[in-house]
Chain A
Amino acid sequence: MITLTINGKTIHANPGEKVLDVALRHGIDIPHLCHHKDLLPSGSCRMCLVQVEGAAKPQTSCGMTVQDGMVIETDTEDIEAMRRDLIDLFVSDHPLTCVTCDKNGSCNLQDYAYRYNISETSFDFELSRPKYYDDNPFYIRDYQYCIMCGKCVRVCDEVVGANAIDFSQRGFETIISTPFDVPLAESACVFCGNCVQICPTAALLPRSKIGKGREWEMSRKQTICGYCGVGCTVEYALKGDKIIYAQGTPDGTVNGEFLCVKGRFGWDFVTSPDRLTTPLVRKDLAYELGLTDEPWEMPQTPVFKGKPKLSNYIPVSWEQAIDITATKLADVVKQHGSDAVGGLTSARCTNEENYLFQKFMRAGVGTNSVDHCARL
């Protein structure tokens, strides 16, 4: 156990911890823009500078390991003035169009501009990289809002492992870019959108969010992603009953803050008009069961080629559907034996559902022919 003093307060920390993490845990709010608990410290925003007793220059608290007996001041007049200058510099290269900005209310730079009372830059306003990219269906890149914190680069490298983007160019014109500035689809990007999630400003935004509402108008609904058996925690931002965007939450049990492309961007089926809302029975079977008077014959071309025609089916209730399925399944078992039936289940089901399914196949149907799509 290590004991140090921050702002006159005695604090205990574990060896190897970083000063910023320890301070934040103890409610000492050291400003930071490029820090993320799941990423390696980079020290690029310079906001978390603190004064350490005995050090001539201010030290970067996100990268500084705690040491016994350290005495730290996080908000000296000198440091606060410097932070104010840094925000002043950030907004000299970032349009303060907060009124119409989709990040309004969840923008870290805006928070600090508010905290340091900076409504416009005192330097020359000059945009270094007014570049806008709208090259994929999932998210946009609007680099005039980029503050070069580099979190997107680090998450892509350290968490995702795709390494689709990196710093490019030098000096004032430095920009985050794909290799040779190719469109994202031609890069190594897997469109997981974790960069979008942790971007502190409006430089990276989900397309679904643009112009669809203000942050404070949205309600939040936390749930488990239904795409696979991993069970990631996902949070939907809703306006009314419409999903605006999906994101991870910092405290997700299995996934932390991060999601994959499906969980983050693949939810448009929820409100799709193509979505089935009731069980359907094909018309030939329906005629056979006396559910319709109209005789119908399956066309020569397979029905599943192309989009299924809803006119080939008639809607039934869940009770009816389950009844029909159970009867038919029992018929097959009766006629051909249990092993004539096989069961294939899905990775999108939960562990419990998959357990029940194999139980049903083995104990109910009486066959061991049961498998799962994740094994394919």
Chain B
Amino acid sequence: MKAIIRIGMSTSDIAAGAEDTFRAIESAVRHRQLDVTLKRTGSLGASHREPVVDIEIDGQSTLYGPVTPERVTPMLDQHFGAGERGVSDDWVISRKNDRSDYPFLGKQYKVTTKLCGIIDPFSLEDYLAHDGYQALKQALKMPPEAVVQTVKDSKLRGRGGAGFPTGIKWELLRKAPKHPKFLICNADEGDPGAFMDRATIEGDPHKLLEGMIIAAYATGASQGYIYARAEYPLAVNILRNAIAQAREYGVLGENILGSGLNFDVTIKEGAGAFVCGEETALMHSIEGKRGMPSMRPPYPAQSGLWGYPSNINNVETLTSISSIILNGADWYAGLGTAKSGGTKAFALAGAIQRSGLVEVPIGTPLKELIYDIGGGCANGRELKAVQMGGPSGGCIPARMLDTIIDYDEISATGAIMGSGGMIVLDDTVSMVNIAHYFLSFTQDESCGKCVPCRVGTRQMLNILQRLLDGRGRIDDIEKLRRLCYTVGKSSLCGLGQTAPNPVLTTLRYFEDEYLAAVTNDVQGQTKLVAEASV
């Protein structure tokens, strides 16, 4: 009998009490002298059922969650002892290896998060046993131009949110005449409610490193930086360990796998500024300066870190690379839509039955993700809207949930694809309040450099606060629109340019709530409502 017990030990599992569960299982296994391999893994993504424990015996897996320490004894009895000892069916998430009996997991299509919750993130051997670094070996046999071409053909677009084609970005760096070249991984995940990058790094750090090394080979970069959130201590720890293992294994450092490629990776921990996710601010932060955006052009590929050509890719972009190399560009492109290939991970949160990390092919309708995978709105409430893209994104109303997950389709609604934050809002939510929440976040996180973002968002916030307090003025909505326009068009960086999005989309789809909030002047309100209905 070959038995493996996997215990999810990601940040979200630990928050749900996974450490106590782990200790309970560890001592029970020792006490019973069971011949079992205990494995600490990352998160499977099923946050709503954490802590999650997977008991696999002779290749047959049973997934449990949430597993409290009290549930450990009956569970172990069931599998390794006297038989049925009161294990409730409610504790079981899935009894099938393909998880087809649990739609939250069964209906996903995992690429970047495939090994999360399966392998031990501290173990290089585990990664190697799952085709680890095979893609790198394969890429090193190809000319670098062919690697770039493969990425271009895969139709992979930047997963940080803007969706710039990754292959073209790589080509720009490759063609830049200056040396050295830098490759930066943006792991400064700051959107409220988003945790895709954290989960990916905590579950499968070598996949990120492998993607970076392939990118370095393809672009000619000699030094890599991972700009990670300091608020992610576990992810940073796991990455540090992985980098040390990779150096020892010979895939980082000089003459990688005998190919002549020299490349190393350094972790730079951020200091908690949201704006450092903006690429120019991020580079200033690595340089030791205050994280403040600067004008583009020059773009990073022309003049980036310390004035040298640089390329910045998000964690999810880079973790997609090894799968693209291994399975081919056609396979990856075939997963998505005509213009955008592959899959996208989302942090599904808010008023949803089953929250957590989900990964679906691009082109999947929002409805499918929210109802089939997420199980629809929680507590029997009615779904009102879905907020996508965090503070730079917007709200998509329930009636538009047929929209497919695709950069252009989502942008057409006024929201953005974003890095993967997806918050489900039910009918108890005030949309003005939602706009206020996201805008207050942006306002707090503005770097203060340019006036539209520093003062403009403040004035927008003042108006929203007035509306929420029932002190709305007759011209507030018009003023709000004007500010949205000016702030969006005249701000220096992406943070300011997209700051009005939460307001703009809620104004577009839920204007009646704004109008209702203008209560001060009854006559004025009637006039506004009349105008709106024309």
Contact = CB atoms under 8 A, between A and B. Distances in A.
Chains A and B belong together in one complex: yes
A41 B486 contact: no
B444 A170 contact: yes
B516 interface: no
A166 B483 CA distance: 28
Interface string A77-89: 0000110011001
Interface stretch (A1-9, A43-51, A253-261): A43-51
Contacts of A124: 459, 462
A172 interface: yes
A42 to B, nearest CB: 7
B450 A45 contact: yes
B411 interface: no
A93 B458 CA distance: 10
A46 B451 contact: yes
Interface stretch (A57-65, A298-306, A356-364): A57-65
A296 interface: no
Contacts, number: 105
A232 to B, nearest CB: 31
Interface string B222-239: 000000000000000000
B451 A86 contact: yes
A49 B273 contact: no
A169 to B, nearest CB: 7
A90 interface: yes
Interface string B271-301: 0010000000000000000101011010000
In the A-B complex, list the 7 residue pairs whose CB atoms are closest, starting with the nearest.
Answer: A174-B448, A63-B295, A85-B486, A43-B295, A89-B455, A123-B459, A172-B458
A27 B356 CA distance: 59
Contacts of B490: 46, 49, 58, 82, 85-86
The number of chain A residues touching the other chain, given as a range, is: 35 or more
Nearest to B491: A46
Nearest to A78: B489
A323 interface: no
A295 B258 CA distance: 99
B19 interface: no
Contact of A46 (B290, B297, B452): B452
A169 B295 contact: no
A43 B294 contact: yes
A167 B489 contact: no
B313 interface: no
Interface string A292-325: 0000000000000000000000000000000000
A89 B297 CA distance: 26
Nearest to B466: A124
A150 B449 contact: yes
A124 B479 CA distance: 11
B416 to A, nearest CB: 15
Given A85-B490, A124-B459, 16 more contacts: A42-B449, A44-B451, A44-B492, A46-B450, A60-B295, A82-B489, A85-B482, A89-B456, A90-B451, A92-B459, A126-B462, A148-B454, A166-B290, A167-B448, A171-B454, A174-B449
Contact of B447 (A43, A49, A128, A174): A174
Among B443, B448, B456, chain A packs the most CB atoms within 10 A around the CB of: B448
A72 interface: no
A172 B290 contact: no
B452 A89 contact: yes
Contacts of B447: 167, 170, 174
B20 interface: no
Given A41-B295, A124-B459, A126-B458, A169 B448 contact: yes
Interface of B: 273, 290, 292, 294-295, 297, 443-452, 454-456, 458-459, 462, 479, 482-483, 486, 489-492, 497
A147 interface: yes
Given A43-B294, A58-B489, A166-B290, A171 B445 contact: yes
Contacts of A169: 448
A43 B458 CA distance: 20
Interface in A343-367: none
Nearest to A56: B489
30 contacts: A42-B295, A43-B492, A44-B450, A45-B450, A46-B450, A46-B452, A57-B497, A58-B489, A58-B490, A60-B295, A63-B295, A63-B297, A85-B452, A86-B451, A89-B451, A89-B452, A89-B455, A89-B459, A90-B451, A92-B459, A123-B462, A124-B459, A126-B458, A167-B290, A170-B446, A171-B444, A172-B446, A173-B448, A174-B446, A174-B454
Contacts of A82: 486, 489-490
B392 to A, nearest CB: 15
Contacts of A64: 297
- Main SS of the interface on chain B? helix
Contacts of B462: 123-124, 126
A144 to B, nearest CB: 13
Given A167-B292, A174-B454, A148 B449 contact: yes
- Main SS of the interface on chain A? loop
Contacts of B449: 42, 44, 148, 150, 167, 174
A89 to B, nearest CB: 4
Contacts of B458: 126, 128, 171-172
A366 B486 CA distance: 76
A166 B448 CA distance: 12
A64 B298 CA distance: 9
Contacts of A90: 451, 455
Among A46, A60, A65, A174, chain B packs the most CB atoms within 10 A around the CB of: A46
A88 to B, nearest CB: 9
B448 A93 contact: no
A123 B478 CA distance: 12
Contacts of B443: 171-172
A148 B451 contact: yes
B300 to A, nearest CB: 15
Interface in A106-124: 122-124
Interface string A112-147: 000000000011101010000000000000000001
A130 B491 CA distance: 24
Contact of B294 (A42, A81, A167): A42
B506 to A, nearest CB: 20
A49 B488 CA distance: 13
B310 to A, nearest CB: 18
B479 A123 contact: yes
Contacts of A171: 443-446, 448, 454, 458
Nearest to B443: A171
A147 B449 CA distance: 10
A86 B446 CA distance: 16
A374 to B, nearest CB: 36
Contacts of B292: 167
Nearest to A168: B290
A262 B143 CA distance: 63
A148 B290 contact: no
Contacts of A44: 449-451, 492
B489 A170 contact: no
A169 B290 CA distance: 10
Nearest to B274: A170
Nearest to B455: A89
A147 B451 contact: yes
A290 B257 CA distance: 100
B439 to A, nearest CB: 11
A184 B450 CA distance: 25
Contacts of B483: 85
A46 B292 CA distance: 15
Nearest to A150: B449
Contacts of B290: 166-167
Contacts of A58: 489-490
Contact of B448 (A49, A57, A148): A148
A170 B451 contact: no
Nearest to A122: B479
Contacts of B459: 89, 92, 123-124
